[in-house]
A and B are shown apart, each in its own frame.
Chain A
Amino acid sequence: MKRQWLSRWSFLILLLLFSLLLAGCWDYHELENLFIVTGVGLDQVADSDKEEDPDKEANTEKMDVTLQIGKTQSPSTGSSDTGTQKSSAILLKTAKDTTMESIMQLDQDSSRTMLLHHNQVMLLGRDLAKSGIENRIDAFLRNQQMRMEVLVMVADRRAEDILAAELEEEEISSMYLYGMMQDLYNVSPHYKIRMLDFVSRLRDGTSSAVAPIVELVEQEDKERLKLKGMAIFKKDKMVGSLSSQEMQGYIWTMGNVKQGALAAQTDLGRAVFRIVKLEAKRDIGLNPNGSIRGTISVYATLALTELRGFSGMTPLELMPYLVTLSENEIKRQIRDAFKVAQELDADIYRFGLDFHRRHPKVWKTIEEQWDQLFREMDLDLQVKVKLPATGQIAKSLEMEEPKP
């Protein structure tokens, strides 16, 4: 009996010993000791900083890292005095060689620990994007706290300005950006560029990455954020951009569009359509003469939402006319975007990847010259529009039927 007693006791002591370790989590982080980072902005070191220290040579390795931190207090407190209402986001900024060094520095200099799990967006300043970002984003992939679904966006000027924006709609600008992209995601998944998508394109070799550009505009003393097209990257450097119109063309080329609008203007009048569904099929192959042939067939279902003009036409005449009109408009926008991409030698459509997937054997022989092949590639574009609905009214007020 006594032996058992002893071994029981030692077991109990062992258990108690470990309960000491278990009592507190090892790496606990209390909410009130955390800074929840909601957005990270990377910028080229600002000129003003260089002026402060003229002796120092311009260090291109360094970059400005801006962290946007959402305050954890409830927004209802202090909402009564709207005059001195402050933003509920804090901005912390420092300049170091790498992202993590900056974050560590900010961690040291602040009263709380940075929590990066809830980071919504990685904003790249335009200048930084132009100088290449491959050596800048490693931290966003490597770190366990970073997520692959972080949005990648390019700021029209400096990323910190976007993060500092004081918006009416949303108190934290990166949450606003997240909402905006989520909304666009419902239009087409190709609007939303996550870190995973971005990196996937960088790894393709021949594909060009794209990222939405956000712009800060001031309207009557109010700051607003707007989407201003898409940045086009060649390798890891931003080389150009698509305008909003061209971006739409690009999105349509990629297909899988579930919403959206389309306006077309002719001499007769102006018609506005709603996109119900837009699918794009593509086929890529090699011409006998060695050039690349790309066929894109777009199938769109539209609905008429507004008409102006077109007087003197009967609804029966009008419908086929509108179909051709919208087809041409879609074609035009797609071609416009394609032209921009070709001029930049930037395969933003991943045609190269498609070719690689369909013809892996041939691909190995042409991979080297892909840039040139893409530049000279001709696009065979076919657009088929269905216009099944005219809305609640069949005719418009202007569209008087000619009296007999």
Chain B
Amino acid sequence: MAMILVGFTLILLMDLVPIVRRRSWRSAIGFFLFFIPALTLAVLRQKNVEVPSLMLALGDWLKAWGISY
């Protein structure tokens, strides 16, 4: 857990600080668009919460439509 927090804090320091300094809000959006899901997934993984797989879900959906081998 500590490692996750330290790692993500470092990313925050390295990337968000310059973004905020430059006040380029688009970059901030892009940054958080990936930063927050990544952090969430990392924490969920740490807490052993099973996150459903998108690929498998898509596969099952296609299978339901009869599109598969």
Contacts and interface: CB of A to CB of B under 8 A. Distances in A.
A17 B18 contact: no
Interface string B1-17: 00000110010011101
Interface in A1-38: 3, 6-7, 10-11, 13-14, 17
B21 interface: yes
A13 B21 contact: no
Contact of A14 (B14, B18, B21): B14
B14 A3 contact: no
B18 A11 contact: no
Contacts of B15: 7
A254 to B, nearest CB: 39
Interface string A247-279: 000000000000000000000000000000000
Contacts of A17: 6-7, 10
A17 B10 CA distance: 10
A3 B17 contact: yes
A7 B10 contact: no
A228 B21 CA distance: 82
A49 to B, nearest CB: 43
Nearest to B13: A10
A17 B6 CA distance: 9
Contacts of B10: 10, 13-14, 17
Interface residues of A, number: 8
Interface string A376-401: 00000000000000000000000000
Residue from A3, A10, A11 with most neighbouring chain B CB atoms (10 Å) = A10
B14 A10 contact: yes
State the main secondary structure of chain A at its contact with B.
Answer: helix
Interface size class of B (residues with CB under 8 A): under 10
Contacts of A7: 13-15, 17-18
A49 B13 CA distance: 66
Interface in A316-345: none
A11 B18 CA distance: 13
B14 A11 contact: yes
A109 to B, nearest CB: 32
Nearest to A8: B14
Nearest to A2: B21
A3 B18 CA distance: 7
Residue from B6, B13, B15, B21 with most neighbouring chain A CB atoms (10 Å) = B13
Contacts of A13: 10
Nearest to B9: A10
B25 to A, nearest CB: 17
A6 B17 contact: yes
Interface of B: 6-7, 10, 13-15, 17-18, 21
21 contacts: A3-B17, A3-B18, A3-B21, A6-B13, A6-B17, A7-B13, A7-B14, A7-B15, A7-B17, A7-B18, A10-B10, A10-B13, A10-B14, A11-B14, A13-B10, A14-B7, A14-B10, A14-B14, A17-B6, A17-B7, A17-B10
4 shortest A-B CB distances, which residue pairs?
Answer: A10-B13, A10-B14, A14-B10, A7-B14
